[in-house]
Amino acid sequence: MLAEVWEAAEGLDVVELDQGIGRPVRCFLLKYGGEWVLVDTGYPSTSGDLEKVVGRRSISTILLTHLHLDHSGGLVSLESLRSRRLMYHEKEWLALEQVLATESLVRGLFQGSEVEGFNIALDYMKKLPKPHVFVSDGVRLGQWFLLHTPGHTPGHTTLFREGVAITGDLILQHDTSNVAYIPLQGYRPLSEYLKSLVRVAKLEAEVIIPSHGPLIQDCRRRVGEIFHHHLRRLEQTSRALQKGLTTPTEIAGEVQWSKGRFETLTPLDRWLAILETLSHLDFLEEHGYASAYAPNGYRLSQDADWDRVERGLANIAEGMWKP
């Protein structure tokens, strides 16, 4: 059965990959002169369906919004795609290099079965190719502007042209994107993620197409809901610190996760939960509420002030959310 393909706007076709997978994903085909640009490549397991669609078109370029398995898996699986010009943001490559270079340090964040999830991701990351061209913020690709919207990953990219935005995993209607900590110098994942949300909302796009789930109907309202969600996560993280818990794994066990209690999550989801917990701890450190100490430990700052945390969120929101 062929994947469903529908036209979202002139020169923009959406490919729905949903056969035999738990979480359907979209890829996108952009008309570019007499050829096409493929945006994202789906899972390894959906590569066959994708190949049936792109095999009928002249694909000149592949642009990855980010390097997660459900967006770049087809590239790893399909030899026919690996000869095309590949583009993604430099910070995706730098983050990948950093994770691989600090494998033992990152592995130390995980315990027990969480190591299994890390190993799955690590094996995949080692197969990803370096791009032919690094994406830069504001660069044009035909009619589309490529915008650096970090937070879900360090080099996450959003595409925008008048009235339409392709937002990858930045903003989802019925889910909250994982905001994973990556040991990249100067990277503040949660702060950068929230700033990216506000930036995209200010585009005032009429059609916002994420990689998963329904189209976004009211972007500003959804941004406000996501700010509120992360305030709750920050509150839960702060209470864990007040209890004297110090490691990311201990603190993740105190957070209410959308898929259930921490101990009931799959190894991969526990791994993602720990990384998001680190991002919230990083935000609390950035705003003077928590302090980090080696190895992989956090504690309350001597002058911890929760009002500073809420003011930090409100300043980023630029009126789209208030505590």
* Alpha-carbon span 111 to 307, nearest angstrom: 34
Amino acid 103: pLDDT: 66
* Alpha-carbon span 39 to 18, nearest angstrom: 17
Q: 69-77 vs 47-54: helix axis angle to the nearest 10?
A: 70
Amino acid 307: pLDDT: 97
Amino acid 219: pLDDT: 96
**Count of beta carbons in the 10 Å neighbourhood of residue 136:** 11
Amino acid 2: pLDDT: 62
Q: Give the class (CATH, top level) of 230-312.
A: mainly alpha
What the block records as the tokens of 306 is: 């929760």
* Alpha-carbon span 245 to 251, nearest angstrom: 6
Amino acid 56: pLDDT: 84
Task: For the chain, give every domain's residue range.
Answer: 2-224, 230-312
For the question of whether the overall pTM of this predicted structure is more than 0.85, the answer is: yes
* Alpha-carbon span 32 to 27, nearest angstrom: 16
Mean pLDDT per 10-residue run, the chain (323 residues)? Answer: 86 91 92 94 91 91 95 86 92 90 64 65 81 96 96 98 96 96 93 98 96 96 97 98 96 96 87 94 98 88 96 96 90
**How much of the chain is helix, strand and coil, in % rounded to 5?**
40, 20, 40
Domain 2-224 has CATH 3.60.15.10: yes
Maximal C-alpha separation, the chain: 63
Residue type, 207: V
22 Cβ contact partners less than 8 Å away, ≥ 6 residues apart: none
Same fold, 2-224 and 230-312: no
Amino acid 117: pLDDT: 59
Cβ proximity of 149 and 196 under 8 Å: yes
What is the edge-to-edge ordering of all strands in the sheet holding 25-32?
4-9, 12-17, 25-32, 35-39, 59-63, 85-89, 133-135
